[in-house]
Amino acid sequence: MKIVTKEESAALLERPFEERREEMRRVKEIVKNVQERGDEAVFEYEETFDKTVLNRENFCVSEEEYEEAYKNVSPALLESLRLAICNILVYHSRAGRKDHIVTENGRTTGYVVRPVEKAGIYVPGGTAPLSSSVLMAALPAKAAGVEHIIIATPAKEGKVHPLTLVAAKECGAEKVFKMGGAQAIAALAYGTESVPKVDVIAGPGNIYVTLAKKEVYGQVGIDMLAGPSEILIVADESANPDWVAADVLSQAEHDTLARALVVTTDRALAERISEQVEKRLAVLPRREIAEKSILASGGIILADDLDEAAEISNRIAPEHLELYVEEPEKLLPKIKNAGAVFLGAYTPEPVGDYFAGPDHILPTGGSARFFEVLSEDVFTRKMSVIRYTEEALKEDGEHIVRLAESESLMAHARAILARLEEEK
């Protein structure tokens, strides 16, 4: 990995916006086609992109396919999956928004929280089966109380990965449809003859999935517009360079566009980390992907002190931030922008990816400045609740009328006056 000073780090700190005009044109075409032609358009795109021949009989995963999937998942793996589900569901259930209503002096104000009726969950099926994405998108919806959870995932030559299907069943998904890409997002957003129209779409995906979510936003709610995965590790002299290198590669192996950065106050440590990255790369099964990622977007930035390291981190606003320092709790208050923060030597990023409970679907590309981690909040809505007694309206009515009249909205004013004058 290249080592640079703060002054030399501009290329690493910034991820320039790429205008994807051709991809957006293609996505608009796919979305419009699915909106107009429904199932038939989805079937055509699935045959083209995933070599899957579909009809209305095999479009939705059958009970027989679930049964076969369970046979192909070992008891040990199923146990690990169920423990992870328990952790994630408990976490999201305890963190949820609650109703809040206050009554004072005859005035009741507040909000009640209601789940959406239908949630569409997108699960990628590209370079690796991502059953963990099922858990991380479906379980917040389940914790929120969503009644109908619909999953879309690509089927390669008609087959969905067994662990993905087992995860969907264990998480309580109502249906799993064999569809991916922009066509899946369009089908969930507008509905087809087979696919129910949902209220919110959540889950990670490639550039076509992300652009399709952007295109249908407003027709449905979405979780966020996520891009390639990224990690930033702030390391001081207490850090084990081999462990840091392992954590760097845990993100770099995701995608050639993934970004893995380290910020450290110790040049000698930086050099040892760089050496260990090369050693680990040599034996990594996904070496080609990780190596391209490291060469294109990876690097180690030297900072004068941990305060400066925190400033650099806040500027990057990383998806995953590891504070691999001796006293991470002291540094945490200085962190303003990050998707998820991992504290200390024994909390590598995969702990959050799979098992701890907090979600791993996180804002990327600097969007942690304004987006937040996927949670049950995405699947709920606050509805305002207001109630006035007769006496309260008498006390406030004159002010309300005056404000309505100031906007020339006389019917508004008269709705209040009708009640006040009736009393007179």
CA angle 87, 160, 293 (to 5 degrees): 75
Question: For this structure, is 320 an active site residue?
Answer: yes
Question: For this structure, is 161 an active site residue?
Answer: no
> 34-66 burial string, b = 16+ CB within 10 Å, else e?
bbeebbbbbbebbeebbebebeeeebbbeeebb
Show the 3-state SS of 224-248.
CCCCCCEEEEEECCCCCHHHHHHHH
Backbone angles phi, psi at 156, to 5 degrees: -85, 115
From the list 46, 320, 322, 349, the catalytic residue is: 320
Enter the tokens of residue 216.
């249908």
Q: Is 59 helix (H, G, I), strand (E, B) or coil?
A: coil
Q: Directed axis angle between helix 21-37 and helix 181-190, to 10°?
A: 50
From the list 170, 319, 349, 376, the catalytic residue is: 319
> 215-238 burial string, b = 16+ CB within 10 Å, else e?
bbeeebbbbbbbbbbbbbbbbbee
Enter the tokens of residue 332.
């945490």
Enter the tokens of residue 97.
């928004």
**Could you tell me if 378 and 223 are in contact, meaning their C-beta atoms sit under 8 angstroms apart?**
yes
| DSSP type of residue 341 | E
Q: Distance between CA atoms of 22 and 277, rounded to whole angstroms?
A: 36
Q: Which residues participate in catalysis according to the annotation?
A: 319-320
